[in-house]
Chains A and B, each alone.
Chain A
Amino acid sequence: MPFVTPQSKQRTYDAIVVGSGAAGGQTAYTLCMEGARVLMLEAGRRYRPESETPMFQTPDMAPLGGVGTPQKPFGFYDATIDGGWQVPGEPYVRTTEEHGGRFDWWRARMLGGRTNHWGRISLRNGPYDFKPQSRDGLGFDWPIGYEDLAPYYDKVELLIGVYGTSEGLENTPNSPPGCLLPPPRPIVSDYLIAQRARRVGVPTIPGHRAVLTRALDHRSNPKRLHPGNARAQQILAADMQSRAPCLWATPCGRGCSIRANYQSTTVHLPPALATGNLDIMTDAMVYEVTLGPDGRASGVRFVDRTTGRHEQASARVVVLAASACESARILLNSKSPKFPDGLANSSGKVGRYLMDTVGSDVSGQVPLLEGLPPLNEDSADGHQLYTPWWLYREQLAGKLGFARGYHIEFGGGKRMPGPGTGSGLEWLNGGNYGTKFKEDVRRYYGSFVYFSGRGEMIPNENSYCEIDPGGLKDKWGIPVLRFHWQWSEHETRQAAHMQRTFGEIIEAMGGKPEKIETDGARAIAPGGLIIHEVGGAIMGADRRVSVTNQWCQTWDVPNLFITDGAVFPSNADKNPTLTIMAVAWRAADHILASLRRKEL
């Protein structure tokens, strides 16, 4: 059955899944492996990582040395195609261009979505992260706790392959034996950072990323993932054997042709397709969920981007996994007499409580890292170590001035030289040229370190999206979103704390920070820049103030589900992708059980 067109698709399916990234990939995988027939609709084109990934290309082979442009924001070789903060023909609107109030919306119109280029950082939320309101009175609790999601974190780690260790630190969960792959060995700068960070009270532990540092256990993992389902086990075992472990070169953001890291296109979709239960239609831009006379979702309407024609598809269950804001947009554009303000929006909460991650970075130069011999430090593209949030007690005691924590992603080393090498050295050498300049580039190469804080944002009433009241439409005629954004002092103070902390660490290394910005409002990256946007259709225990229940099932329409980041009632400092997949798997299990009981 694999790739279909509006003409060749089936008349109806068990489920339509809108989107093919982490949420759509996981939802479709779980449904198909357990026998449900699924139509996946993806707005972008088909994408083949095996043949399209620039694995060993060097900057001299790319235009402009491969630097980012509006058409390829993360650089020429980044895996993202037809995507970025601006997508031609698909505008959006915001209420202000100012730093503190703007939101930039990242989209990736391609099969697999942003999983093709993401950072692969895969951290479990901890117990506190599901009950933040109970802990400090701010934001919202999830209707589930860590113990509800823990088995699904296990499953996702066993399926996609995540390296890391279990350190038993506060609110930083362990994984059961066999779930994690060994982390890559640290490089020189990691040892120095770990040693000096400890002196200023900052711990470091091995990172967690979705990269195969060795092959997955194709004998054990499929049995643990699909007990009693011999066919699923067989398909998955075969697929796991066809994924190669990391070859310790070329950046993961380009994607991986040997399938050593997680992308939906290389991990979720191949086994799901192998079941014969999955049809995928690309270039299918969904804009509306249709409502039947029985009050149930009957299917979706979409634009075939290759013809411009408007088409329909139908199924027993509709799952939105189009990314937080796109799923909210589809609901808000699905208006009917019963739902004049958008489908599943009786609470008025669709589009509300958008969150991103608080981000702030500092880089510095460290003389102790000068003059080292040539070293291959490509590793698995960095993140051998990281720092989980470490000041829970001080924070709860009110000593920090902001309520939620952050983790630190850091790195350094002799990365592949490129257009940034040797640029902007004047702050270190005073400005020169000639043979002295070449000597300086050699001297400083590999001696830079960077620290990126990634912290929790608390949902607020002033950060949301709505259908543009000005009536702007995209080139397909679909009404576009307007974004509202506001940080609170919890976020800006946190960003200032990041800056101070990173400066302290760099100074403890004997190094020189390039710039420390102590004004948190200036230090914080604008909303949407970290591309961890979640919320917009939050789950809850009370249908008056949430859009879905704990199963990602909309309160208003029982066969309509949302399995992407839109359902997050909070956005822990942990990068959201692993949690998106765990939540999606849990929801898909619920859908399967309901289908079997004929409730859907």
Chain B
Amino acid sequence: MDRRTSIKWMLAVSAAWPAWHASRAQAPSAAAATAGAAGYGTDPDLVTSHRRGEFWPLTLTAAQRRLAGVLSDLIIPADAHSPSASAVGVVDFIDEWVSAPYPAQQRDRPIVLDGFAWLDAAAGQRAAGKGFAELEASGQTAICDSVCSAARAAPALEDAVRFFARYRDLTAAAFYSSPAGRQDVGYIGNVPLTSFEGAPPELLRKLNLI
């Protein structure tokens, strides 16, 4: 993949905003530098492993983190292949994401926080006094079912649908970035090899490609 495609694919998780829109949003006519003050800077250490919260404080409340974990695990539950989202640190990733000082993440923050509030309100309509995290499983899935598909959802739920799609993307971003996620999809690369053999001939024959 060339570098522009990789940036595009990486940015796909940022609400499909291509890079030029991001720079446009932060730079009017005189493209003055605005990105210098916060964040990890333009020259971070690339070879050490970084922990969430190292570069900017995590900002979700305990209740929001609890809800985030419940929702992430509804999206990516444990199965025979891999653990659940919350078991591999997805909540910390989400917290880092919505707390980040960058434009794409700052755009996501209200989408996520408003979405959390909507989930709690929707839960309260089903069981007075309960938030989404406290709702019984059938109620949680009923709410998710109502917003997980733009094509099937009620038009009035447009904002909640957009939130759910975004949150699902962020959950997947965190999960499939983790070792458990890489293993789940069967990735076997990122190891040094002495030679690269390319596509196995028997597979190519099976696919009628040679």
B107 CB–A CB distance under 8 Å:
no
For B7, what are the chain A residues with a Cβ–Cβ distance below 8 Å?
A: 68, 73-75
CB distance from A333 to the nearest CB of B (A): 18
In whole angstroms, what is the CA distance A94 to B55 when docked?
32
For B33, the chain A residues whose CB sits under 8 A away are: 86-91
Distance to closest chain A CB from B123 (angstroms): 17
Please state if A361 and B5 are interface contacts (CB–CB under 8 Å): yes
A536 within 8 A of B: no
A residues engaging B (CB < 8 A)?
A: 45, 51-54, 56-78, 81-94, 97, 102, 104, 117-119, 121, 184-188, 190-192, 195, 246-251, 253-254, 359, 361, 363, 368, 372-384, 409, 411, 414-424, 426, 430-435, 437-438, 441-442, 445-446, 450, 452, 470, 472, 525-526, 529-530
A450 → B minimal CB distance (Å): 5
Q: Identify the closest chain A residue to B26 (Cβ).
A: A70
A373→B187 contact, CB < 8 A: no
Complex: how many Å from CA A400 to CA B103?
41
Complex contacts, A441 vs chain B, CB 8 Å: 172, 176, 184-185
Residues of B within 8 A of A249 (CB): 189-193
CB contacts under 8 Å to A, within B68-87, are 74-77, 79, 81-82
CB proximity of A318 to chain B, nearest CB, Å: 29
List the B side residues contacting A437 at CB < 8 Å.
Answer: 75-76, 168, 172
Interface size on B (CB < 8 Å)?
A: 103
Q: Which residues of B contact A (CB under 8 A)?
A: 1-14, 16, 19-20, 22-24, 26-36, 39-44, 46-47, 49-50, 52, 54-55, 74-77, 79, 81-82, 89, 93, 96-97, 100, 102-105, 141, 144, 148-152, 164-165, 168-169, 172-179, 181-182, 184-200, 203-204, 207, 209-210
Residues of B within 8 A of A248 (CB): 192-193, 195-196
Least distance between B140 CB and chain A CB atoms (Å)? 11
Assuming A431-B149, A438-B77, what are 14 further A-B pairs, CB within 8 angstroms? Answer: A54-B47, A67-B13, A71-B44, A85-B19, A86-B35, A88-B42, A92-B31, A185-B198, A191-B209, A383-B2, A420-B10, A423-B169, A426-B150, A435-B79
Inter-subunit contact A251/B6 (CB<8 Å) = yes
Q: Are A188 and B187 in contact (CB under 8 A)?
A: no
> How far is it, in angstroms, between the C-alpha of A434 and the C-alpha of B71 when the chains are bound?
10
> For A81, what are the chain B residues with a Cβ–Cβ distance below 8 Å?
42-43
Query: How far is B103's CA from A565's CA once the two chains are assembled, in angstroms?
Result: 32
Assuming the contacts A73-B19, A452-B4, asked whether A416 and B44 have C-beta atoms less than 8 A apart, the reply is no
Specify which of B11, B185, B188, B195 lies most central, judged by the most chain A CB atoms within 10 Å of its CB.
B185
Contact indicator B5/A450 (Cβ below 8 Å): yes
Contact check, A53 vs B5: say whether CB atoms are below 8 A apart.
Answer: no
Question: Which residue from chain A places its CB closest to the CB of B169 in the assembled complex?
Answer: A423
A69 and B102 within 8 A (CB): yes
Q: Is the CB of A88 within 8 A of B36?
A: yes
Name the residue on A nearest B11 (C-beta).
Answer: A68
Say whether chain B's binding surface is mostly helix, strand, loop, or mixed. loop
Hey, which chain B residues are within 8 Å of A426, CB to CB? 149-150, 165
A interface secondary structure, majority: loop
CA distance A307 to B187 in the complex (A): 48
Give the top 10 A-B pairs by smallest Cβ distance, nearest first: A185-B198, A431-B149, A422-B172, A88-B36, A88-B33, A419-B173, A421-B176, A59-B177, A70-B35, A378-B189
CB of B138 to closest CB in A, whole Å: 13
Contacts of A51 in B (CB 8 A): 47
| In the complex, chain A residues whose CB is within 8 Å of the CB of B207 | 188, 191-192, 368
Residue of B nearest to A421 (CB): B176
**A119-B186 contact given A88-B35, A185-B198, A188-B209, CB 8 Å threshold:** no
B44, B198, B203: most-surrounded residue (chain A CB, <10 A): B198
**Selected A-B contacts with CB under 8 Å, 12 pairs:** A58-B182, A62-B50, A65-B13, A81-B42, A86-B26, A104-B20, A188-B199, A382-B1, A383-B2, A420-B9, A435-B77, A438-B81
Chain A residues whose CB sits within 8 angstroms of the CB of B204 once the complex forms: 188, 191
User: What's the Cα separation between A118 and B149 when bound, in Å?
Assistant: 39
Assembly CA distance A435 to B204 (angstroms): 31
Interchain nearest-CB distance for A131 vs B (Å): 28
Is B32 a contact partner of A91 (Cβ separation < 8 A)? yes
A414 in contact with B187 (CB, 8 Å): yes
Tell me whether B197 and A185 are in contact (CB under 8 A): yes
A273 to chain B, nearest CB (A): 23
Which residue of A70, A380, A416 is within 8 Å of B190 (Cβ)? A416
Instruction: Give B83 Cβ to nearest chain A Cβ, in Å.
Output: 11
Docked complex Cα distance between A377 and B152 (Å): 37
Docked Cα-Cα span, A450 to B10, in Å, equals 14
B187 and A247 within 8 A (CB): no
From the candidates B20, B144, B195, B209, name the one contacting A192 in the complex (CB within 8 A).
B209
Q: Are A64 and B185 closer than 8 Å at their CB atoms?
A: no
Q: CB distance B192 to A374 under 8 Å? A: no
B23 touches A85 (CB 8 A): yes
Query: A423 near B8 (CB under 8 angstroms)?
Result: no
